[in-house]
Amino acid sequence: MTGSKTFYLTTPIYYVNDVPHIGHAYTTLACDVLARFMRLDGYDVKFLTGTDEHGQKVEKSAMNAGIAPQEFTDRVSKNFRDLVSLMNFSNDDFIRTTEPRHIASVQELWRRLESAGEIYLGSYAGWYSVRDEAFYGEDELTTSPSGKKIAPTGAECEWVEEPSYFFRLSAWQDRLLEFYEQNPDFIAPAGKRNEVMAFVKSGLKDLSVSRTTFKWGIPVPGNPDHIMYVWLDALANYITAVGFPDESGEYAKYWPANLHMVGKDILRFHAVYWPAFLMAAKLAPPKRVFAHGWWTIEGQKMSKSLGNVIAPETLVNTYGLDQTRYFLLREVPFGNDGDFSHKQMVQRINGNLANDYGNLVQRSLSMIGKNCGAAVPQPGAFTEADDALLGAARNLLPIVRAEIRSQSFHKALDAIWAVIGDGNRYVDEQAPWALKKTDPARMATVLYVLAETIRHLAILTQPIMPEASAKILDQLAQGPEARGFDRLGAGGALVAGTPLPTPQGVFPRYVDEAKS
Per DSSP bridges, beta strands 14-15 and 93-96 are unpaired
- 198 within domain boundaries: no
Q: Cα 143 to chain center, whole Å? A: 36
Angle at 515 between CA 510 and CA 516, to 5 degrees: 70
**pLDDT digits 0-9 by tens, 138-173:** 899 999 999 999 999 899 999 989 999 999 999 999
Band (296; pLDDT cuts 50, 70, 90) = confident
- 358 within domain boundaries: yes
| Mean pLDDT value of segment 365-387 | 97
- 222 within domain boundaries: no
Cβ atoms of residues 315 and 43 within 8 Å:
no
- 461 within domain boundaries: yes
Per DSSP bridges, beta strands 156-167 and 119-129 are antiparallel
- Structural domain for 374, as ranges: 341-492
Whether 6 shows a pLDDT value over 70: the answer reads yes
- 165 within domain boundaries: no
**pLDDT score for 308:** 65
Cβ atoms of residues 197 and 305 within 8 Å:
no
**pLDDT digits 0-9 by tens, 217-259:** 999 999 999 999 989 999 999 999 999 999 999 999 999 999 9
Angle at 247 between CA 243 and CA 248, to 5 degrees: 90
Overall residue count recorded for the chain in this entry = 516
- 96 within domain boundaries: no
Band (90; pLDDT cuts 50, 70, 90) = very high
**pLDDT score for 303:** 62
Q: How many domains does the chain have?
A: 1
Report cis status (omega within 30 of 0) of the bond before 275.
Answer: no
Q: CA 235, CA 269: separation in Å to the nearest integer?
A: 8
Q: CA 127, CA 477: separation in Å to the nearest integer?
A: 63
Band (202; pLDDT cuts 50, 70, 90) = very high
The backbone torsions φ and ψ at residue 262, rounded to the nearest 5 degrees and listed phi first, read -140, 160
| Mean pLDDT value of segment 115-120 | 98
| Mean pLDDT value of segment 65-85 | 94
**pLDDT score for 516:** 45
| Mean pLDDT value of segment 65-82 | 94
Angle at 81 between CA 80 and CA 82, to 5 degrees: 90
Band (484; pLDDT cuts 50, 70, 90) = very high
Transcribe 455-504 into DSSP letters: HHHHHHTTTT-HHHHHHHHHHTT--GGG-SGGG-SGGGPPPTT-B-PPP-
CATH of the domain at 443: 1.10.730.10
Residue 136 β-bridge partners: 127
Q: What is the CB neighbour count within 10 angstroms for residue 201? A: 12
pTM: 0.93
Whether 369 shows a pLDDT value over 50: the answer reads yes
Transcribe 433-446 into DSSP letters: HHHHHH-HHHHHHH
Q: CA 15, CA 17: separation in Å to the nearest integer?
A: 5
Angular region, 22: left φ>0, alpha ψ -120 to 50, beta rest? alpha
**pLDDT score for 380:** 97
- 448 within domain boundaries: yes
Q: Which helix (H) or strand (E) holds 117?
A: none
- 174 within domain boundaries: no
Band (306; pLDDT cuts 50, 70, 90) = low
Whether 260 shows a pLDDT value over 50: the answer reads yes
